[in-house]
Amino acid sequence: MYVLEKGRPSNEEGRLSKEIRVYDLLDRLHIEYERVDHEEANTIEACKEIDEVLGEETSICKNLFLCNSQKTKFYLLMLPGSKVFKTKDLSKQIGSSRLSFANQEFMENF
């Protein structure tokens, strides 16, 4: 069962340093936030229960990390969870001949 929490976790033990840095930034900017702690969720199906906990005022979005075939240009695409992603349409919009999902290692570099 997932729980909606306000602000940063009281116990930060075992959390990634990049997660803590995000909390630090939000706090420094005085941005209020809520969070749901959960395992990695790589599909919209896996996010449905989390979405229910978040309530009607929020919606799950897809975050797609893409690159061109040469792996020289990278794109982070965010779209509503219910929207179907069509590579062909986005490739045309940004003038790229072919897009594919980028490896996680590239995202770590950014």
Condensed to tens digits (0 to 9), the pLDDT of residues 14-45 reads 999 999 999 999 999 999 999 999 998 888 88
Domain boundaries, the chain: 1-59, 60-110
CB-based burial label for 51 (10 Å; 0-12, 13-18, 19+): middle
By mean pLDDT, which of 10-14, 32-36, 88-92, 106-110 is the weakest? Answer: 106-110
* pLDDT for res 72: 92
- Token readout for 43 is 């599909």
CB-based burial label for 22 (10 Å; 0-12, 13-18, 19+): middle
* pLDDT for res 59: 83
* pLDDT for res 97: 82
Q: Cα(80)–Cα(82) distance, rounded to whole angstroms?
A: 5
